[in-house]
Structures are given as C-alpha cells and as structure tokens.
Amino acid sequence: MKIKLDENLPEQLANNLRALGHDVETVPAEGMTGYEDADIWAAAKREQRFLLTQDLDFSNVAAFVPGTHPGILLEPVMNYGRRQRQNS
C-alpha cells in the first residue's frame, strides 16, 4: 500500500509500516513540515497515497468525500512516551 504519514506521527511508525512491505513517504522527509493541509492533501492525492494523520481537519467528510481518494486514517492522539502506571 502507498502511504503518506503526516508530520504529527512518529518516524518509527513509518519504519514499522515499511517493514511490513508498505511504500511509505513522510511529510518531514519530503520537506513539507508546516505546509497547509491543502498542500499535504494535494500531494497525497497526486501520489495516490493513503494518508495517515492525527489532524482532525481531515475528518470533514464534506471536504474529503469517501470514495474520491485513496483514503484517510485519523490516528487517535496518543502519548508515544512512557506509559503511566496504574495504581492497584
């Protein structure tokens, strides 16, 4: 699968996806960090890539009509740092 990973997701995720055989490009590696959503979206569509992002602006189905693009996955905001211990 051809995937574009937005700047708000870790590079390790790109590495993990590549290890699974996916063709992954990242926004930072393409020099697009800080670009407007419209520019990121245009690049993903032009390259026919599935977009992985945490940017909720991409959740607008009126603007990003399902079936008119390769796809979008909104990854929930996660803390990629240490896990907090729960008290028993």
Q: Name the band, by pLDDT with cuts 50, 70 and 90, for residue 79.
A: low
- pTM for the whole thing? 0.78
Spatial CA neighbour of 26 closest among 43, 37, 14: 14
The predicted-structure confidence for 18-46, as pLDDT tens digits, reads as follows 999 999 999 999 999 999 998 999 999 99
57 found inside a domain: yes
When divided into structural domains, the chain yields a total of: 1
79 found inside a domain: no
Q: Name the band, by pLDDT with cuts 50, 70 and 90, for residue 13.
A: very high
Domain that holds residue 62: 2-74
Predicted local distance difference test score (pLDDT) of residue 69: 80
Give residue 38's region: left, alpha or beta (phi > 0; psi -120 to 50). alpha
80 found inside a domain: no
Predicted local distance difference test score (pLDDT) of residue 77: 61
87 found inside a domain: no
